[in-house]
Each structure stands twice: as C-alpha cells, then as structure tokens.
Amino acid sequence: MFNGCSSLIGIDLSNFNTNNVENMKGMFQGCSSLSSIDLSNFNTNNVENMVGMFNGCSSLINIDLSHLNTDKVKNIAGIFQGCSSLISIDLSNFNTNNVINMTSMFGNCSSLAFINLSNLNTKSVSLMASMFRGCSSLKNIDLSNFNTNNATDMSGLFFGCSSLTKIDLSNFNTDKVTNMACMFYGCSSLTNINLSNFNNNNATNIRGMFSGCKSLQKENIIIKNKTILEDEQLFNDVKVIIKYI
C-alpha cells in the first residue's frame, strides 16, 4: 500500500479501519524515511500475512507492536528486514503460535543490540533461514525458549552476527533440519558454541557452516558426533579444536 514511499516521514493511521484485512504483505516496505509508525489503532485480528511489512524501513528508530493481534498470522518472513536503525524490538505481545515462516525476520537489522524472544512461540515454524542474518550489533541472544521441533531450514541463521561471542543451542531439536549451510558464517567473535544436542543426520547441506568464525580457532565446538565434519568445506578457512562428547 505504501511500498516504496521513500520520502514519507510521517503517516496518520488513527482512522484506518483494517477490520477485514487479511494481507499486509509489504505494506510499509521501502518507507526508508519513516522514523516511527503509530499502530495503536490497527486491527489485525484477521491478518494472516505480514511478510516484509516493515522491510527496508531503515530510519525506523522504534516501533510499538503491543497492539498488534497476530493470532492468525502464518507468515512473517522479512517483517523487520532492513530496519537497520532499530536498536531493540519488544515482541512480548507477539502471538506466533501459527507462524510457519520466520525467514529473514530480523535480516540486516544491523543496529539491533537487544531483542527479547522469551515469548516467541516457534513450535510451528519450519523455515528459519537467515532469521538473524546481518544482526552485526547483537552481542547476546537467549534462545532457550525456542522450539525447533518442526524446523527444516536453518541456513544462514546467524550469518554475519559478528558481535556474538557465544551461542547456546543445546536445547535445539534439529531432527528435521535438512539445510544448515552457512549457519554461523562470519560470526567472527564467536568463541564458544554448544551444539551438544544437534542431530545432523537429515542435513543434506552443511557447507560453510562455520566459515569465517575466526575466534573459534583456539576454542572448543561441542558436538554430538563426527559426522558433522564430513563436508570438507564445513570450516573453510578456519582451523578449530574439536571436542567430542
């Protein structure tokens, strides 16, 4: 609806009636001059698609999502992709029970320093590829509440998260994951990673999984078995010490 309105610096949505809207895909995509959006009167009770809703809103400094009803939403791929000025995102009111696609959800949110994912329900999510790709300011991330039982694609999940020093994924269920390619590509500050619960038996692509993880050279990667090392390009330019459990 406002796709590509790159000079729009303000928008009054207070009288917008969205009661019957089912699709908000790309609604504000490319509104690169918007610094804030007031969604307090938005009725999203029937919305099922929010793909790329704020994609490319590179000047967006803050966004209040507390009034959005996402009960019926199934796809939020790229919803905040390219929101490179956002420092934090509060998703505590987000209901993602029915979401199946979170691909590039926070892709290239390069200023994002804090994100609370404790209430994010990922039980139905199949696609997580590039979910945090390019979140280069993110130093910590708590994924202890993540349910990955149905995930099939984790490729590039943390691609370019160059400020992360450690990731604990010991609770991750990867039984159904087929693609792990470049999962930690470019995580150059990563010194500790726990993959003790990882099952890569169904993974058909794990190439470059740790490529560019330069700080892992003198640290340990805790993994479940040796099969994860079968791909010769798994580490590419990185030499690491492997600890088997």
Over residues 6-33, the pLDDT tens digits come to 999 999 999 999 999 999 999 999 999 9
Domain boundary among 103, 125, 147: 125
Q: Are residues 92 and 164 in the same domain?
A: no
Tell me the backbone φ, ψ of residue 179, rounded to 5 degrees. Answer: -125, 115
In a domain, 131, yes or no: no
Pick from 106, 65, 102: which is nearest to 87 by CA? 106
Q: Are residues 115 and 18 in the same domain?
A: yes
Q: Are residues 116 and 151 in the same domain?
A: no
Per-residue pLDDT at 228 exceeds 80? no
Per-residue pLDDT at 101 exceeds 50? yes
Percent share of the chain, pLDDT over 90:
64
Stretch 152-168: mean pLDDT, rounded?
A: 95
Residue 79, CA distances (Å) to 36, 45, 94, 128 in order = 15, 17, 13, 13
Instruction: Count helices and strands (H / E) in the chain.
Output: 0, 6
Q: Are residues 243 and 151 in the same domain?
A: yes
CA pair distance 35, 10, nearest whole angstrom: 8
Domain boundary among 125, 148, 175: 125
Average pLDDT of every residue of the chain: 88
Domain boundary among 55, 90, 125: 125
What confidence score (pLDDT) does residue 206 get? 85
In a domain, 51, yes or no: yes
In a domain, 177, yes or no: yes
- pTM exceeding the 0.85 threshold for the entire prediction: yes
Could you read off the pLDDT of 41-57 as tens digits, one per residue?
A: 899 999 999 999 999 99
What confidence score (pLDDT) does residue 199 get? 81
Pick from 202, 200, 205, 208: which is nearest to 228 by CA? 200
Per-residue pLDDT at 156 exceeds 70? yes
Residues in the chain: 245
In a domain, 132, yes or no: no
Per-residue pLDDT at 238 exceeds 70? no
In a domain, 103, yes or no: yes
| Strand duo 192-194 + 241-244: pairing | unpaired
What confidence score (pLDDT) does residue 245 get? 36
Per-residue pLDDT at 242 exceeds 50? no
What's the pLDDT band for 222 if we cut at 50, 70, 90? low
Read off the tokens for 90: 């509060």
Stretch 188-205: mean pLDDT, rounded?
A: 85
Q: Are residues 10 and 118 in the same domain?
A: yes
What's the pLDDT band for 138 if we cut at 50, 70, 90? very high
Per-residue pLDDT at 220 exceeds 80? no
Q: Are residues 5 and 112 in the same domain?
A: yes
In a domain, 133, yes or no: no
Q: Are residues 33 and 148 in the same domain?
A: no
Stretch 121-137: mean pLDDT, rounded?
A: 97
What confidence score (pLDDT) does residue 243 get? 42
Is residue 105 a contact partner of residue 77, using CB atoms and an 8 Å limit?
Answer: yes
Residue 139, CA distances (Å) to 41, 51, 66, 124, 127 in order = 34, 26, 25, 27, 23
Range of the domain at 193: 139-245
Q: Are residues 120 and 157 in the same domain?
A: no
Q: Are residues 113 and 189 in the same domain?
A: no
Stretch 93-105: mean pLDDT, rounded?
A: 95
Stretch 145-156: mean pLDDT, rounded?
A: 96
Please state the domain count of the chain: 2
In a domain, 197, yes or no: yes
CA 157 to chain centroid, in Å, comes to: 7
Q: Are residues 27 and 64 in the same domain?
A: yes
Q: Are residues 116 and 17 in the same domain?
A: yes
Tell me the backbone φ, ψ of residue 54, rounded to 5 degrees. Answer: -115, 20
Is residue 216 a contact partner of residue 189, using CB atoms and an 8 Å limit?
Answer: no
Residue 172, CA distances (Å) to 87, 112, 196, 198 in order = 26, 23, 9, 7
In a domain, 69, yes or no: yes
Q: Are residues 163 and 228 in the same domain?
A: yes
Per-residue pLDDT at 5 exceeds 60? yes
